[in-house]
Structure 1
Amino acid sequence: MTSFDRSTELQDRLHRVVPGGAHTFAKGPDQYPERMAPVLRRGRGARVWDVDGNEFVEYGMGMRAVTLGHGYEPVIEAVKAVLADGISFTRPTELELAAAEDFLSLVPGAHMVKFAKNASDATGAAIRLARAATGRDLVAYCHDQPYFSAQDWFVGTLPINRGIPEAVRSLNRSFGYNDLDSLRAVLEADEGRVACVILEAASALSEPAPGFLEGIRRLCDQHGAVLIFDETITGFRWSAGGAQAVYGVTPDLSTWGKAIGNGFPIAALAGRRELMELGGLATDEERVFLLSSTHGAETASLAAFRAVVRAYRDTDPVGTMERQGAKLAEGVNRVAAEAGIDHALSVVGRPSCQIFRTLDADGSPSQPMRTLFLQEILRRGVLGQSYVISAAHTDLDVEQTVDAAAGAVAAYRKALETGRPEDLFEGRPVAPAHRRYAEPRRLAG
């Protein structure tokens, strides 16, 4: 029986010193079965070890930030090579130039780039830049995509929006993915007031319909709005050039994070020169406060980024993720079908960025069923709130994951039959990360 005693003890201590017990909502213990939230000690490749000595095949990979695997040697060596020479300086380093040139060689249509530490800062800067360039206030965002930023402009759209002034919240407008008419309606209703349109060009579950992205581009041009692609997830997971390189539609600005450093803290804002230079020194216009960060260009993360770029040029991480992800989906979906529960349990999404769907007997998404499935795969050495894969996942890792799912289906089938998954796990079910109140609703009975 897998033990989580030490993890539970440390998690209790974390709650006393860190609000929520973690530094990211999605890493919180409320996202895992009660008393089964591992506190990790180390990772290597696609595997991690916790403080209780448990070994897991990991998915999610640092909230999608790790595509080459934990402790990827060329990245680690590149970082080691710069450490002894210092990390932060009072002037730019040669490394900043090399990293910027590397980035711009990959991203079509981007003329300038500015590095940051997290993608929320990059998206916030993109919104500010678009507002300054257009002289407008409103932001049109895609409401079918769950997360763009930890800054006020977006947090105001979430259920957990306490502390965001109504004046800020009132500046947002939303539209649907693959629904050009909904965006057209927004732009026409607020003609001349929308500064920018921001969306992910694609997501794990949504590919752009034919003509959708091209239509977005045309509408932005027609209405004078800045088009922003959030490449935080798609960048280096769809391709090294992001989703814009895959689908052939160029935004005015794009924001990047997560995988560009294989886990090291680095993000970027990139875009057309005439926009980006508004935050520079080669403009006669009133300047924009774009990005200014003490640690935005520290050498360790820039070195990590350059090593990631080399890995993508010399190998095919995206191809490996697509291949291994497809193999994983086929295996898990097969065992679910063999158990007669494929209507309720399935793996879906782009092979490099998959999730597992956990439905109840009525076909509705179910947090209790999700809790049960997470419990059963954790017991069998698989950790993850998704099946987001990396290029480090071997055939053995995939086989263990499929075997874990096969072991979980008996409990899942029983829960579907009884309609009471809560009888098969202890404590509260997992809960949405951005819910309004901390405690999830307790199950009756």
Structure 2
Amino acid sequence: MPDFTRSSAIQARLHELVPGGAHTYARGADQYPDAMAPILVRGSGCHVWDCDGNEYVEYGMGLRSVTLGHGYRPVVDAVTRTIADGVSFSRPTELELLAAQDFLSLVPGADMVKFAKNGSDATTAAVRLARAATGREVVAVCDQPFFSVDDWFIGLTPMNAGIPATSTVRFTYNDLTSLAVALDSHPVACVVMEAATALAEPDPGYLAGVRALCDRHGTLLVFDEMITGFRWSSGGAQQVYRVTPDLSCWGKAMANGFPLSALAGKREFMELGGLRTDRDRVFLLSTTHGPETASLAAFRAVVAAYRDTDPIGRMSRAGRRLADGVNKIAADLGIADHLQVLGRPACLIFRTLDPEGQPSQPFRTLFLQELLARGVLGQSFVTSAAHADDDIDATIEACRPAAEIYRRAIESGTVAGLLRGRPVAPALRRLAAPRVVEIAERS
């Protein structure tokens, strides 16, 4: 079993200084087994090291933001060269033009782009722009996990303390009737959705149907490309499925982990946030750090890598090899109905089901615990282009004894005696329980 002494001490101190002990809820210690939440100090490719000296093969790769690998040399070199001449200025730089040109060369239906720093900047700007363009307030969001930290979305989640009532309605993915009902029931400013997810592909004609419904109702269509962008294709899901939204929102992998997001879209809408309109001005995006040179240089290096190499092909091949290997182990052990690796090869998840076939946080925690003990770190099996055959094979070998222990829990009907500590809990939940940090832990 790896030693987590220093990681646990730093995590305890983080709880004293940072609400939740992390700056992202998905990175919180409550997402990992008790006393097994590594505090990382460096990474290279798909390997990371924690402050206790433990080495891991990492999956998830910075919440899906790293597709080329940690410390990818062309990105590091581009950033190093650029920041030597300054990072932030009082006027635009030529780099902003070059980066915008690069971006718009990739995204088939976008005429203009504006850069920012995180995904919520972009999605909330899209909502604001759609409301201004249509004169409507209601937003229709697909029943997908996450779109923004801002009120219009978080108000729909269990973690809605301090948020006023929102004018946001939901509709069901791959169900045109549910969207039609939402659009018929309210004057909707925009439809916000992911065109696809790791586990859900659009039915034939579905996205075209969404496009047609939006056009019929005068509603803007907004694609969230945070995950699909640079993982489905460099042009996002809209390029794969050939349906063009009015606006699209980007982030995560576009700069290989450097903080960068983007709002892109049709000129007639984007210009409402500019100086070439006679309409009332929209406060679209105005961020001090949106155009800083480090992230834009990283983005341009990512574009070059996607042009000259095949990162999506490499991460997809790694994902297929991993899914095949782990699913074979589960089948051989007779637990294929309980432990499953599923999803698009470049965006895999693992499902952990209890003896009754229901999703289970305790059983998930047991699997995470056994993977961590064997040098595998990840809340998913999302790969990067840096995952080589040796990394995948090592992960599969780590999954074999982990799956054997999982089978023992399935056979006994409980994780008791196998799971050390409390189960993980959903990142977005109403109460800190069942992973509240007790007073003793804070002292």
Asked whether the two chains share a fold, i.e. TM above 0.5, the reply is yes
Write the distance in 2 (CA, Å) between the matches of 1:309 and 1:391: 14
8 Å contact from structure 1 (residues 368, 422) kept in 2: no
- Give the counterpart letter for 1:183 in structure 2: L
State the Cα distance separating 1:185 from its structure 2 match. 0.7
- Residue-by-residue CA offset, 1:72-117 (whole Å, 9 max, x unaligned): 0000000001111100000000000000000000001100000000
Q: Hey, what does 1:356 align to over in structure 2?
A: 350
- Give the counterpart letter for 1:14 in structure 2: L
User: Of 254, 258, 266, which aligns to 2:260?
Assistant: 266
State the Cα distance separating 1:441 from its structure 2 match. 7.6
8 Å contact from structure 2 (residues 192, 221) kept in 1: yes
User: Of 248, 254, 259, which aligns to 2:248?
Assistant: 254
Write the distance in 2 (CA, Å) between the matches of 1:409 and 1:388: 19
Instruction: Tell me the C-alpha RMSD between the 2 structures.
Output: 0.8
Matched, 1:179 2:175: yes
Matches within 5 A, 1:339-350: 339-350=333-344
Q: Hey, what does 2:108 align to over in structure 1?
A: 108
- Residue-by-residue CA offset, 1:46-73 (whole Å, 9 max, x unaligned): 0000001000000000000000000000
Matched, 1:333 2:327: yes
8 Å contact from structure 2 (residues 424, 435) kept in 1: no
Matched, 1:95 2:95: yes
Write the distance in 2 (CA, Å) between the matches of 1:343 and 1:266: 39
SS in 1 for 2:340: strand
- Residue-by-residue CA offset, 1:251-276 (whole Å, 9 max, x unaligned): 00000000000000000000000000
Matched, 1:68 2:68: yes
8 Å contact from structure 1 (residues 49, 56) kept in 2: yes
In structure 2, stretches of 5+ residues that fail to align are 437-443
Q: Hey, what does 2:145 align to over in structure 1?
A: 146
State the Cα distance separating 1:422 from its structure 2 match. 3.1
Write the distance in 2 (CA, Å) between the matches of 1:22 and 1:317: 30
Q: Hey, what does 1:56 align to over in structure 2?
A: 56
8 Å contact from structure 1 (residues 321, 352) kept in 2: yes
Write the distance in 2 (CA, Å) between the matches of 1:106 and 1:196: 24
SS in 2 for 1:424: coil
- Give the counterpart letter for 1:282 in structure 2: R
Write the distance in 2 (CA, Å) between the matches of 1:345 and 1:118: 33
Write the distance in 2 (CA, Å) between the matches of 1:202 and 1:17: 38
State the Cα distance separating 1:410 from its structure 2 match. 1.6
8 Å contact from structure 2 (residues 30, 435) kept in 1: no
- Give the counterpart letter for 1:423 in structure 2: G
State the Cα distance separating 1:423 from its structure 2 match. 2.1
- Give the counterpart letter for 1:129 in structure 2: L
Q: Hey, what does 1:395 align to over in structure 2?
A: 389
Write the distance in 2 (CA, Å) between the matches of 1:85 and 1:441: 46
- Give the counterpart letter for 2:128 in structure 1: R
Identity %: 66
- Residue-by-residue CA offset, 1:283-339 (whole Å, 9 max, x unaligned): 111110000000010000000000000000000101111111001000000001111
Moved more, 400-409 or 107-116: 400-409
- Give the counterpart letter for 2:381 in structure 1: Y
Write the distance in 2 (CA, Å) between the matches of 1:13 and 1:267: 31
Write the distance in 2 (CA, Å) between the matches of 1:161 and 1:110: 33
Write the distance in 2 (CA, Å) between the matches of 1:358 and 1:258: 26
Q: Hey, what does 2:270 align to over in structure 1?
A: 276
Write the distance in 1 (CA, Å) between the matches of 2:233 and 2:413: 42
Matches within 5 A, 1:384-423: 384-423=378-417
- Give the counterpart letter for 2:318 in structure 1: Q
- Give the counterpart letter for 1:164 in structure 2: I
8 Å contact from structure 2 (residues 65, 253) kept in 1: yes
SS in 1 for 2:417: helix
SS in 2 for 1:421: coil
- Give the counterpart letter for 1:162 in structure 2: A
Write the distance in 2 (CA, Å) between the matches of 1:277 and 1:406: 55
TM-score, scaled to structure 2 = 0.98
Matches within 5 A, 1:1-400: 1-143=1-143, 145-166=144-165, 169=166, 171-190=167-186, 193-400=187-394
- Give the counterpart letter for 1:30 in structure 2: D
- Give the counterpart letter for 2:133 in structure 1: A
Write the distance in 2 (CA, Å) between the matches of 1:156 and 1:414: 41
Write the distance in 1 (CA, Å) between the matches of 2:287 and 2:294: 15
- Give the counterpart letter for 2:168 in structure 1: N
Q: 4+ residue stretches of structure 1 with deviation over 4 A?
A: none
State the Cα distance separating 1:411 from its structure 2 match. 1.0
- Give the counterpart letter for 2:231 in structure 1: R
SS in 1 for 2:153: helix
- Residue-by-residue CA offset, 1:197-239 (whole Å, 9 max, x unaligned): 0100000000000000000000000000000000001000000
8 Å contact from structure 2 (residues 34, 422) kept in 1: yes
Write the distance in 1 (CA, Å) between the matches of 2:278 and 2:403: 65
8 Å contact from structure 1 (residues 141, 197) kept in 2: yes
